[in-house]
Structure 1
Amino acid sequence: MYLSSFVHREALFELTRRWLCARLEPDDGLLVTRILICDGFVLGETLETLSKRLLGMVHPGPFQIKRIHLKGELREALCRSARDPDPRVGELIRSYMERPEFFYSDVPINGAMALDREGRLLGLYRLKRPRRIAEKANRYIANWIFQMVQEKARRLAEERARVLRIPLELLLTPQEEMAQEFIRAEEAIAGSFREGKVQMDRSALTINDIGGIKIVAEEEALARLEEILGGEPDLEVVEREEYKGEYRARSFILKHTWDREAVCKAFLERKAWKHYANRGLPE
C-alpha cells in the first residue's frame, strides 16, 4: 500500500509489492514494526502541531486539546456544540442521547479534540489505528486485483471479437464460456504475481486519510483559511474537494514538511520507546 501520510511510504509500498509476489525477507517483520512505530509517532506529532496552527488561523481565542479514546466522546462533544440545530440535527442529537450504543459510541479512536472555554468543539485530529489501516488496505488491494482481472477478461473478449471481425458490443458469449474466460484471466493475473512481474498501480493503492484534521467554522472563516494556506511556504494544497447540500464541507489533501528535529526531540524527552516496547511483530 502507498500510505501518503507516512514518511517511509516508498519502503512500505515496495514491501507490499514483494509480499504480494510471495517474496518475503527475514527482516520484513522488523521493518514493518519500525515503519508503523516510527511513522505513527512522526504523524501524531506533526498532526498535533499542524492542528494547533490551523486552528489558530480560524479561531483566534484560546482553546484546549483533549485526548479522546472512544468515538462516544466525540459524539457527546458534537451534541454539546450544536448551535441552533435545525430539525434534522435536533432529531439526531435526541436519538443519540436516547440510544448512544446505536451510534458506535464504544468504537476506539486515536485522536484529540480542540475545545473552547465552554467545551464546544472547534476541531479535531485523528490517526487511523494499524488494524483500520489493514482493513482498508485489504479492500483497496481486493478492488485493484478484481479490476485487473476484469481488464484481462475484457482483452480476451476483444481478441475473440477481432478474430471474428465484429465489434465487441456485438459479441455474444455463452455464460459457461464467459466463466471460463474469467477463470483464464484470473490465472493469468495470478501468474504475474508468482513470476514477480505484476505492476503495482500506485494511484489505485494510495490511502490518503491515515492522518486527518477537521476544523469546525463558519463559511467565511474557512474561506479565509483556504486563502492563508495558499501563502504558507511549508504547506501545499495537493487536492481540493467541496461538498454541498445536507453535508457541507471543504476537503483538502495537504503536503506538509515535517519538523525532523522537533519530532526527534519529543521522542527522546517523552521516552516514547517505552510506550512501544511490547508492540510489533514477534521475531
Structure 2
Amino acid sequence: MYLSAFLHRSEFFEITNRWLSDKLEPEDPLKITRMISYDSFAAWETLLLFINELLASLAHSPFKKTPISHKKVLKDFLCHNSHSKSDRIKSLISEYMKMPEFYYVGSPITGYIYHDHSNNLISICRIKRTRRIAEKAGRYASIHIYNEVNSLAKEILKKRTKRKILSELLLHNDYIEAEKQIMLQIRQNGIKFPVDSMRINDILGTKIIDTGYGENKLESILTSLPGISIIDKKKHSGNYNAIHYIIELKANFDYITEKFKKNSKYQHSIKSRLPNVRLNEDFAGFITTGANTIHLDLIFTTFEELVESEIGRSMHESRIFLQRQGQELYGNISLNIEYIIEYLLAVGLSPTVSIDEIPIKIWGRYLPDTLSYRIRRLYQMPEYSLIDE
C-alpha cells in the first residue's frame, strides 16, 4: 500500500510488496515500527497545523476543538448545536435520538471537532484507523488481481463447456480453481503491485463546512497559504453531495520536531516499541530522510450534507458495511491481502520488533481467528481459551 500521508511512503510500499510475496527481511519489523511511529506523528501534526492556518482565514470568530474517540461524540454534536436546521434535518435528528445505537455510534475515530463558541460546526478532522487502512488496501489490491483471476476462470469454463458440463457449482469451482492457480503463481514468482493501484490518499482527512463563502474563496485561501497545493478536485452529487480535494502539504520539519519534543505523552506511548532509542534525536534524524510532502483528503460540504453522511441517506458506516460485503466477491486472495496488511500495521504498533515469519500467505486459506491470534501474540496477550497449557 502506498500511504501518501507518510513521509517514507516509497519505503513502506516496498516492504508491503515484499510481505505480500512472503519475503521477510530481519530489519523489517523495526523499520515498520519507526515509519508508523514517526511518520504518523509527522502527518498528524502537519494536518493540525494546516487546519489551524486554514480556519484562521475562513472563520469569522475564534474557534476551539473537541477531541472525538468514537462516532457518538460527533453524531451527538450534530444534533445539539446552533446551526439552523431544515425540516428534513430535524426529522433525521428526531429519529436518531430515539435509538442512537442503530447509527453505529460505537465506531472508533481519532480526530477533532472544530467549532465556534456558539457550537456552530466549522470542521472535523481524523486519521484513518489501521483496520480501515487494511480493508482499503485489500480492496484496491483485489480489484487489481480480480481481472486476472476472472479471465483464467473463463478459460477454464470454455474448456469445460466444450464437454457440455455446466452447473452453478461447477461455475463456482472454476473460480476457485482459477484463484488457486493464481495463488500458485504468486507463491512461485511473487507479486508487485503498481503504485497507482495501491495509492491511499485519505489516511488524513478533514471536512470543511461551507458557511456561505463557497468553493472559490476556499480555493483562493488554500492556494495563498505557503507550502499548500491542490492536486486533485472532484464534485460528487446524488446521495453524497460535496467537493472532494486532494491537498499536498509541505512538511515543516522544525515545527514537527519541536512538537515531538514537547509531546511526552506520545513519546511514552511509543517507548515500548523503541525501547533502546533516544527518541528526540532518532525522530529528528529520521523524518528528514523521506519525502518532504504529505497528502490529505479534504471534503468541502454543508452542514446538512454532513448530517446526511452521519445519520441520513449517505451514512458513512453503511457504505463501509456494503464495501465489506463486496469484498466477498474477490475470494481468498482479497481477504489474505487484508490480513497481511493488518498484521504488518500491528507489528509497527506493537512492542515486538522481531518476528520469524509472516504468518499469513496470499496462497493460503485462513479463518479470522488466525489473524487475531497472531496479533495477540505480538502484544503477548493471553489466548482466548478455556484451558491454557
Give the shorter-chain TM-score range: 0.7 to 0.9
Residues in 2 aligned to 1:115 and 1:172: alpha-carbon distance in whole angstroms: 68
Query: Is the CA contact (8 Å cut-off) linking 1:58 and 1:222 kept in structure 2?
Result: no
**Paired residue secondary structure (1:41):** helix
Task: Name the residue aligned to 1:229.
Answer: 222
Q: Which structure 1 segments of 5+ residues have no match?
A: 162-170
Query: Is the CA contact (8 Å cut-off) linking 2:83 and 2:120 kept in structure 1?
Result: no
Query: Is the CA contact (8 Å cut-off) linking 2:20 and 2:191 kept in structure 1?
Result: no
Q: CA RMSD in A?
A: 2.7
Pairing of 1:248-267 with structure 2 (within 5 A): 248-267=241-260
Task: Name the residue aligned to 1:124.
Answer: 124
C-alpha distance after superposition, 1:138-192 (max 9, x if no partner):
33333332233124556x48xx89xxxxxxxxx9985478667645643443244
Residues in 1 aligned to 2:106 and 2:152: alpha-carbon distance in whole angstroms: 44
* 1:12 equivalenced with 2:6 (yes/no): no
Task: Name the residue aligned to 2:139.
Answer: 139
Residues in 2 aligned to 1:277 and 1:198: alpha-carbon distance in whole angstroms: 34
TM score, norm. by length of structure 2:
0.63
**Paired residue secondary structure (1:240):** strand
Task: Name the residue aligned to 2:88.
Answer: 88
Pairing of 1:149-188 with structure 2 (within 5 A): 149-153=149-153, 156=155, 175=166, 182=175, 185-188=178-181
Task: Specify the code of the residue in structure 1 equivalent to 2:50.
Answer: L
Residues in 2 aligned to 1:83 and 1:214: alpha-carbon distance in whole angstroms: 16
Task: Specify the code of the residue in structure 1 equivalent to 2:69.
Answer: H
Task: Name the residue aligned to 2:115.
Answer: 115
Task: Please report how far the alpha carbon of residue 25 of structure 1 lies from its aligned counterpart in structure 2 after TM superposition.
Answer: 1.1
Task: Name the residue aligned to 2:210.
Answer: 217
Residues in 2 aligned to 1:233 and 1:172: alpha-carbon distance in whole angstroms: 68
* 1:274 equivalenced with 2:279 (yes/no): no
* 1:244 equivalenced with 2:252 (yes/no): no
* 1:97 equivalenced with 2:97 (yes/no): yes
Quick one: percent identity of the two aligned structures?
A: 32
Q: After alignment, is 99-108 or 241-250 more displaced? A: 241-250
Query: Is the CA contact (8 Å cut-off) linking 1:57 and 1:225 kept in structure 2?
Result: no
Pairing of 1:41-120 with structure 2 (within 5 A): 41-81=41-81, 83-120=83-120
C-alpha distance after superposition, 1:123-151 (max 9, x if no partner):
01100122332233233333332233124
Query: Is the CA contact (8 Å cut-off) linking 1:66 and 1:113 kept in structure 2?
Result: yes
Residues in 2 aligned to 1:256 and 1:199: alpha-carbon distance in whole angstroms: 28
Q: CA separation of 1:109/1:243 partners in 2, compared to 1, >3 Å: closer, same or farther? A: same
Query: Is the CA contact (8 Å cut-off) linking 2:7 and 2:39 kept in structure 1?
Result: yes
**Paired residue secondary structure (1:7):** coil
TM score, norm. by length of structure 1:
0.84
Q: After alignment, is 76-85 or 58-67 more displaced? A: 76-85
Task: Please report how far the alpha carbon of residue 21 of structure 1 lies from its aligned counterpart in structure 2 after TM superposition.
Answer: 0.9
Q: After alignment, is 197-206 or 181-190 more displaced? A: 181-190
Residues in 2 aligned to 1:268 and 1:79: alpha-carbon distance in whole angstroms: 38
Q: Which structure 2 segments of 5+ residues have no match?
A: 274-348, 355-389
Residues in 2 aligned to 1:245 and 1:53: alpha-carbon distance in whole angstroms: 31
